[in-house]
C-alpha cells in the first residue's frame, strides 16, 4: 500500500514504524523540522518537512496515487482540514485521530474513519490492567461488549470440561463465547467446537456481551471483587 502519514509525534512515529516494517510505501508529512529529520534518519520512507493543510503538500506527497492517509496531529481542526483535502484529492481511505469526543460527529459527518483520543485509550487500558488483573488483553465492542484474553486457572468451573458441557451446566453464560484457545504444545490456536475441552493453563480469547465483569471472570477461575482485587484460585462465600 501507498500510505501518507501526517505527523511524526507520539502517535505517528510508532505508526510509521509499523507501516514501513510491513513493507508499505510510506510518505510522512511533518511540519516540525527536528521531528522530520529524526524520522528521515530512523525509517525507510520519504519525509516532507511541510504543512499538510496545504493542498500542494499533499500533491507533493503523492496524494493522487495514495491508497490511504492517516492524520495524527494533536489538533482536531488540523486533522479535519487534512481529511477534507484528502477527500477532495480522491484518497480512498482517510483516517484520523480525534482528541475531543465532542468532535466525533463532525468527523463522522464528513465520512472519515476515526481513532478516538489514543491517550485516553491508553489510560483506560492501564486502569483496567489494575482493576482487572486477570485480563491479558481486551478490546471494547460497542458500549458494553468486550473481546478479551484470559488464562484458565486450576479452580475454574470450566477447567476439564467440554464447552457444550460447561454451557449445559450453566458455567458458561449464553452471552459468553470462547472464540479461540491457545494451548502449550499445540501447533497454533485451536478453533473451539462444542466438544473442545478447556484445560487449566489455556489462554482463551473470549467474547462477552456484558464485558469482562467479575461474574464472567469467575468462570475462568479468577475471583475478583468489584474493586478489582484479585483472589485467583480462592473462591470465597461472600463474593
Which helix (H) or strand (E) segment is 25 a member of?
A: strand 25-29
For the segment 51-71, the average pLDDT, to the nearest whole number, is 97
- Asked whether residue 233 carries a pLDDT value surpassing 60, the answer given is no
First to last CA, the chain: 52
* Domain definitions of the chain by residue range: 2-116, 122-232
- CA dihedral defined by 32, 33, 35, 39, rounded to 10 degrees? 130
The overall average pLDDT reported for the chain is 86
Q: What is the pLDDT of residue 230?
A: 43
Residue of higher predicted confidence among 162 and 222: 162
The pLDDT of residue 238: 39
Higher per-residue pLDDT: 135 or 221: 221
Does residue 163 have a pLDDT over 70?
A: yes
**Using CA of residue 190, residue 192, residue 193, residue 197, what is the dihedral sign?**
positive
β-sheet bridge partners, residue 146: 140, 208
Instruction: Give the pLDDT confidence score for residue 113 in this predicted structure.
Output: 86
Is 70 exceeded by the pLDDT of residue 117?
Answer: no
Sequence-separated contacts (24+) of 107-116 with Cβ below 8 Å: 107/79, 107/80, 107/83, 110/80, 110/83, 110/84, 111/87, 112/83, 112/87
Residue 125 has pLDDT above 80, yes or no: no
Confidence of residue 101 (pLDDT cuts 50, 70, 90): confident
For residue 228, the model assigns a pLDDT of 44
> Could you tell me which CATH class the domain 122-232 is placed in?
alpha beta
Second-level CATH architecture of 2-116: 3-Layer(aba) Sandwich (3.40)
pLDDT value for 146 = 87
Choice between 120 and 134, residue whose per-residue pLDDT is larger: 134
What pLDDT is recorded for position 92? 96
The pLDDT score that the predictor gives to residue 44 is 94
Q: Which residues of 57-96 are buried (b: 16+ CB within 10 A; e: fewer)?
A: bbeebbbeebebbbbbbeebebbbbbbebbeebebeebbb
The answer to whether domain 2-116 and domain 122-232 are alike in fold is no
Q: What's the pLDDT score for residue 191?
A: 92
How large a percentage of the chain has pLDDT more than 90?
56
- The dihedral region occupied by 56, where left means phi > 0, alpha psi between -120 and 50, and beta the remainder, is alpha
- Which of 55-59, 101-105, 127-131, 152-156 has the weakest average pLDDT? 127-131
pLDDT digits 0-9 by tens, 3-50? 999 999 988 999 999 999 999 999 999 999 999 999 999 999 999 999
Amino acid at each position: 500500500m501507498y500510505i501518507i502519514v501526517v505527523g511524526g509525534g507520539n502517535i505517528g512515529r510508532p505508526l510509521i514504524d509499523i507501516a514501513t516494517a510491513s513493507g508499505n510505501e510510506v510518505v510522512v508529512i511533518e511540519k516540525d523540522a527536528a521531528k522530520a529529520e529524526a524520522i528521515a534518519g530512523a525509517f525507510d520512507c520519504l519525509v516532507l518537512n511541510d504543512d499538510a493543510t496545504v493542498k500542494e503538500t499533499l500533491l507533493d506527497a503523492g496524494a493522487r496515487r495514495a491508497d490511504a492517509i492517516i492524520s495524527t496531529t494533536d489538533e482536531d481542526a488540523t486533522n479535519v482540514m487534512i481529511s477534507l483535502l484528502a477527500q477532495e484529492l480522491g484518497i480512498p481511505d482517510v483516517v484520523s485521530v480525534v482528541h475531543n469526543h465532542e468532535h466525533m460527529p463532525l468527523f463522522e459527518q464528513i465520512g472519515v474513519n476515526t481513532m478516538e483520543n489514543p491517550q485516553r485509550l491508553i489510560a483506560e487500558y492501564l486502569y483496567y490492567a489494575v482493576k482487572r488483573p486477570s485480563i491479558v488483553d481486551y478490546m471494547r465492542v460497542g458500549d458494553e461488549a468486550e473481546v478479551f484474553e484470559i488464562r484458565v486457572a486450576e479452580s475454574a468451573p470450566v477447567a476439564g470440561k467440554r464447552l457444550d458441557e460447561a454451557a449445559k451446566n450453566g458455567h458458561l453464560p449464553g452471552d459468553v463465547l470462547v472464540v479461540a484457545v491457545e494451548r502449550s504444545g499445540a501447533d497454533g490456536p485451536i478453533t473451539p467446537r462444542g466438544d473442545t475441552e478447556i484445560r487449566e493453563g489455556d489462554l482463551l480469547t473470549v467474547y462477552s456481551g456484558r464485558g469482562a465483569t467479575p461474574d464472567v471472570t469467575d468462570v475462568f477461575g479468577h475471583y475478583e471483587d468489584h474493586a478489582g482485587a484479585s483472589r485467583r484460585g480462592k473462591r470465597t462465600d461472600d463474593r
